[in-house]
């Protein structure tokens, strides 16, 4: 984020963005504010005219003509009505403008989140992202509410100052000494408050992140008895935010009364000097009343400008944080190609290389081909690059070198959304929404219940779903807490199958399922990926391509071919039996899960 030198200048620059985007709403609200300001000044003239032509003659003669009284009444009522119209236009316009800008930037931030790759998201905590889209956007456009009022009151102030100078030059000059004092107070406030506002916005993001982690890891926190530690961690951030906000509030609490007091002091000085000048015949009582009232009117523009300037520190910080998201680079580019084939997809991985950091490659020169309808198992030790490879095959990230092609088309050349129509991935960590079984599987797509049940049968999930109260209409709770880990994985698998993918990638997606059920799932997938009737071989998914990240020997044994990964490279490939015979490293890896239980049995 660029650091700037003047909060006031930057605050007006932020407002200029809003004015350029919503010029008509700003114009309407400003006209209303100018009308309000002009009519407020007119009140002072009416008051002075009434004093000079109605009040003072009444003291002198003891009577006032009916015409003068009606004139005074008409002037006051007319000014009041027009001023009310100005207030409505000003407030309505300012509110509409503020909420439209907030809505626009929330949408822009959310769209940017969707375009940025997973690599960017992995470097930015969830709490910070929530803060960017919520509190930072609100802070950025907070000054819009007082903006039209401030613009209109500037006009009011100019008119009032001119009228003061015309009424009595000496009293006007004395009263206007308030302005330098207000400017000094504003500069002092911004210098003291801006660092605190910056820190407060950052702490809000950090506090959101702590809360998100605690709620997200509620099971870990409770089962390990870490409630008090998590409470202390949250309390530490909350107390720091409280202390910083209180310090900023104290500064604001001193600033606001100062703005209110300075014009009032000026009024008292003007009245004292005005009495002296009237007694010595140097001014008229009507002029003194007019100037004193105008000075009270001028105090309102001063306060409104103070409210505007007082919002600038927080606004600039919020806008900087939002802009940092909108200017983030790395968004994926898409082509215009389409995948027109049917049945299984041809997958080609061509000299693929990828690294999170420049000095640490996760994949290096990975090359293999999966022909349509084949089942391939990716096998390797932890950190060998299997999950990274699945992220690349589904284009969650792009490779540093090489290419991945489906049916001969580079994934980067496909139109946006095209890959998702033909390729589906089922991750190890199944995520379910707090919604019904049906909506968790279809995700809002128009899918007949028959196809949903077919996908559930393939995933071996139809039995427990049918037993739920409401079956497909049963709500699963947040993250599917009402289900076991294996049940959540099978619902997640059905979600992919109902889309009838031509290429299905399972990233250890059955790790929480017992081996017998897993064998039935994989057997059903080989017989009909895509949600057809597995029992009778229905559906056109029998030729679909299946890539499985696997650990269990029984799972690996079902694959047509096994690709052995080590340190981000393909070290061997072949059938499960062939690799067991010729690769001791592979044999040690796949037998490791069975050796330990065997040793215990002995």
CB 149 within 8 A of CB 304: yes
Which residues are CB-contacts of 450 (< 8 A; sequence separation ≥ 6)? none
- CA 201 – CA 319 distance, rounded (Å): 11
pTM for the model stands at 0.60
Name the percent of the chain lying above pLDDT 90: 0
In angstroms, the CA 28 to CA 33 distance is: 9
pLDDT at 512: 67
Rg (CA), the chain: 36
DSSP string, 462-526: HHHHHHSTTGGG-B--GGGTTS-HHHHHHHHHHHHHTT--SEEEEESTTTTS-HHHHHHHHHHHH
Cβ distance 529 to 548 under 8 Å?
no
State the residue for tokens 């930015």: 124
**What tokens were used for 475?**
């709500």
Tokens standing for 36? 């309000």
Backbone angles phi, psi at 116, to 5 degrees: -75, 145
Mean pLDDT of the chain: 77
Q: Which domains does the chain have, with CATH numbers?
A: 10-326 (1.20.1560.10), 347-601 (3.40.50.300)
pLDDT tens profile 423-442 = 888 887 777 887 888 888 88
Question: Do 506 and 522 form a contact (C-beta atoms < 8 A)?
Answer: no
Contact indicator for 36, 86 with CB cutoff of 8 Å: yes
Contact 430, 470 (CB under 8 A): no
Task: Indicate if the pLDDT at residue 354 is higher than 50.
Answer: yes
Distance CA 298, CA 305 (A): 11
Q: In what order do the strands lie in the sheet with 401-406?
A: 360-370, 347-357, 401-406, 409-410
The closest of 34, 31, 101 to 315, measured between CA atoms, is 101
Task: Specify the residue for token string 């620059």.
Answer: 13
What are 574's two structure tokens? Answer: 């072949």
What pLDDT, in 10s, does the model give residues 9-45?
778 888 888 888 888 888 888 888 778 777 776 776 7
* Residue 593, both tokens: 């899960």
What per-residue confidence (pLDDT) applies to 302? Answer: 63
Give yes or no for a contact between 493 and 426, defined as CB atoms under 8 angstroms apart: yes
3-class DSSP state for residue 42? helix
383: left (phi over 0), alpha (psi -120 to 50) or beta: left
Phi then psi for residue 356, to 5 deg, are -70, -40
Task: Please answer whether residues 408 and 346 qualify as being in contact, where contact means their C-beta atoms are separated by less than 8 angstroms.
Answer: yes
Collapse the DSSP code of 423 into the 3-class scheme (helix H, G, I; strand E, B; otherwise coil) and give the result: strand
Tell me the pLDDT tens digit for each residue of 369-410.
888 888 888 888 877 888 888 888 888 888 888 888 888 888
Q: Which candidate, 419, 360, 421, 430, places its Cα nearest to that of 388?
A: 360
Over residues 217-246, the mean pLDDT reads 80
Task: Write the pLDDT tens digit of every residue in 313-346.
Answer: 778 877 888 888 888 776 677 788 888 777 778 8
Distance between CA 192 and CA 203 in Å, rounded? Answer: 18
pLDDT exceeds cutoff 50 at 598: no
Two tokens at 498?
């109902």
The secondary structure of 359-374, three-state, reads CEEEEEEEEEEECCCC
């Amino acid at each position: 984020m660029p650091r700037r030198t003047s909060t006031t200048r930057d605050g007006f620059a932020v407002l200029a963005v809003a004015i350029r985007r919503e010029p008509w709403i700003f114009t309407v609200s400003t006209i209303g504010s100018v009308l309000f300001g002009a009519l407020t000044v007119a009140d002072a003239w009416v008051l002075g005219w009434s004093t000079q032509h109605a009040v003072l003659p009444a003291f002198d003669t003891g009577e006032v003509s009916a015409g003068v009284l009606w004139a005074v009444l008409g002037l006051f009522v007319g000014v009041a009505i027009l001023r009310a119209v100005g207030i409505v236009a000003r407030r309505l316009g300012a509110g509409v403008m503020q909420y439209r800008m907030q809505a626009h930037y929330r949408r822009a931030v959310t769209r940017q989140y969707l375009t940025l790759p997973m690599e960017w998201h992995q470097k930015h905590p969830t709490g910070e992202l929530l803060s960017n889209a919520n509190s930072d956007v609100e802070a950025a456009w907070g000054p819009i509410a007082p903006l039209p009022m401030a613009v209109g009151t500037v006009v009011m102030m100019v008119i009032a100052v001119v009228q003061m100078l015309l009424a009595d030059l000496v009293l006007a000059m004395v009263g206007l000494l308030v302005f330098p004092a207000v400017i000094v107070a504003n500069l002092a406030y911004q210098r003291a408050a801006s660092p605190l506002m910056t820190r407060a916005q950052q702490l809000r993001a950090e506090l959101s992140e702590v809360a998100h982690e605690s709620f997200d890891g509620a099971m870990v926190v409770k089962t390990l008895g870490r409630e008090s530690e998590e409470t202390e961690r949250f309390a530490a951030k909350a107390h720091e935010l409280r202390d910083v906000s209180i310090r900023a509030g104290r500064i604001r609490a001193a600033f606001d009364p100062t703005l209110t007091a300075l014009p009032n002091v000026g009024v008292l000085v003007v009245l004292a000097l005005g009495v002296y000048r009237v007694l010595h015949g140097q001014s008229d009582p009507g002029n003194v009343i007019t100037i004193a009232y105008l000075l009270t009117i001028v105090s309102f523009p001063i306060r409104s400008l103070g409210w505007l300037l007082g919002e600038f520190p927080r606004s600039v910080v919020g806008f900087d944080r939002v802009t940092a998201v909108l200017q983030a680079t790395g968004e994926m580019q898409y082509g215009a190609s389409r995948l027109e084939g049917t049945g299984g997809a041809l997958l080609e991985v061509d000299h693929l290389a990828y690294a999170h950091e420049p000095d640490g490659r996760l994949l290096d020169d990975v090359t293999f081909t999966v022909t349509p309808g084949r089942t391939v198992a990716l096998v390797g030790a932890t950190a060998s690059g299997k999950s990274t490879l699945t992220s690349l095959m589904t284009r969650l990230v792009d490779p540093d070198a090489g290419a991945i092609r489906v049916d001969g088309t580079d994934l980067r050349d496909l139109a946006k959304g095209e890959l998702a129509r033909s390729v589906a991935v089922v991750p190890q960590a199944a995520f379910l929404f707090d919604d019904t079984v049906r909506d968790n599987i279809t995700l809002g797509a128009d899918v007949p219940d028959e196809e949903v049940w077919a996908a559930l049968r393939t995933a071996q999930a139809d039995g427990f779903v049918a037993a739920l109260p409401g079956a497909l209409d049963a709500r699963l709770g947040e993250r599917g807490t009402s289900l076991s880990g294996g049940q959540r994985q099978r619902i997640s698998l059905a979600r992919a199958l109902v889309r009838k993918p031509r290429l299905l990638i399972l990233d250890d997606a059955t790790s929480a399922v017992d081996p017998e059920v897993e064998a039935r799932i994989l057997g059903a997938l080989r017989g009909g990926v895509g949600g057809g009737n597995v029992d009778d071989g229905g559906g056109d998914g029998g030729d679909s391509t299946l890539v499985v990240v696997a650990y269990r020997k029984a799972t690996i044994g079902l694959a047509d071919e096994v690709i052995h990964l080590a340190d981000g490279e393909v070290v061997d490939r072949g059938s499960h039996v062939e690799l067991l015979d010729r690769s001791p490293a592979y044999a040690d890896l796949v037998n490791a899960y069975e050796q330990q239980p065997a040793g215990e049995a002995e």
